Chains A and B, each alone.
Chain A
Amino acid sequence: MVSITRKAEFSASHYCANPRLSAAQNEALYGKASSPSGHGHNYVLEVTVAGDTDPLHGMVMNLKDLKEIMNEAVVEVYDHRFLNHEVAPFDRVVPTAENIARDIWRRLEPRLNANGRRLRSIRLYETPDLFVDYSEEQHEGGVAA
């Protein structure tokens, strides 16, 4: 088993506020990120795929294919968007780094789990000093729980 990691970037704006809470409660919970005007980040996404190397070409998967999947499934959807207003499910789910990571997993996983390889983990940097790691338990055969 070998794992490979590829990086991509996207820039997007968001704000974090739960509509069931007051403005003061949201400010206490999310800090400056709660302002509904929004603010932006240069997000950096690292996607790690694990599998055996193919005896023919010596790769877990073609990095160009991985780049294209990351672009189509994530970057083109998220890049230069206001997540709360333009990218589902963030019209009803607070776009915290935790929730964005789970959404990215959901978008990538069905396209990457194939041919004996699987999506192992993703890391999403909201800033260089704040990031989340996300992975889901795998059943036998590489299907997500």
Chain B
Amino acid sequence: MLRLAKRYPFSASHRLHSDQLSDNENDRLFGKCNNPFGHGHNYVLEVGVSGEPDPESGMLLARPELDRIVRQAVLDRIDHANLNTDVDAMRGVVPTTENLALVIGRLLREAWEKEFAGRPVRLDSIRIEETARNTFEVTYG
């Protein structure tokens, strides 16, 4: 089994807050992350792909192609953005990094199906480091 992963740093701000909850409940649940003005992180998105390498190129996927699809489908939308207000795909969800990972995964899979349909390389996993200590991962079978 061959898997390649590439890491893409991005910076974004967010505020964890649910309109379904009272101010007290939000504070108890999200703590400092509920600060009304929001706060930011230097996130790292790690995109894993797997399959068989192309016999001609010796690669699962050309790095410029991977860079382009990640940039167009994801980074252009979220880098230096406010995840509560600036990102259409995040509307209506609390921008926890769990939800961010699911949304990024959906955006990438849609772009993947459009651009790489029929290729042997598949999207294997999305991993996000919110900080060096907090990591979230979604894997696709």
What is the interface of chain A, defined by CB distance below 8 A to chain B?
16, 18, 20, 28-31, 33, 93-99, 101-102, 128-137
Docked complex Cα distance between A53 and B59 (Å)? 36
Chain B residues whose C-beta falls within 8 Å of the C-beta of A134 in the assembled complex = 1-3
Contact A131 B5 (CB under 8 A): yes
| Docked-complex contact A133 and B57, CB < 8 angstroms | no
Beta-carbon nearest neighbor of B66 in chain A: A130
Q: Which residue of B lies closest to A132 (CB)?
A: B4
Within the assembled complex, what's the spacing in Å between the Cα atoms of A96 and B4?
11
The contact sample of 16 A-B pairs, CB cut-off 8 A, is A20-B56, A31-B62, A93-B58, A94-B58, A96-B59, A98-B58, A98-B60, A102-B2, A128-B7, A130-B4, A130-B7, A130-B63, A132-B5, A133-B2, A133-B5, A135-B1
New A-B pairs, 18, CB < 8 Å, besides A94-B57, A96-B57: A29-B57, A30-B57, A31-B62, A33-B63, A93-B58, A96-B53, A96-B59, A97-B4, A98-B53, A98-B58, A102-B2, A129-B6, A129-B7, A130-B63, A133-B1, A133-B5, A134-B2, A135-B1
Bound CA–CA A30/B7 (angstroms): 17
Give, as a whole number of angstroms, the nearest-CB distance from B56 to chain A.
6
Interface size class of B (residues with CB under 8 A): 10 to 19
CB of A139 to closest CB in B, whole Å? 15
Inside 8 A of B7's CB, which chain A residues have their CB? 128-130
A31 lies within 8 A of B64 (CB): yes
A18-B57, A96-B57 in contact; A29/B4 too (CB < 8 A)?
Answer: no
- Given known contacts A31-B64, A98-B53, is B5 in contact with A130 (CB within 8 Å)? yes
Q: Cα distance A130–B67 when bound, in Å?
A: 12
- Complexed CA–CA distance, A136 and B2 (Å): 8
A34 to chain B, nearest CB (A): 10
Instruction: Let me know if A98 and B59 touch, CB within 8 A.
Output: yes
Closest to A33 in B: B63
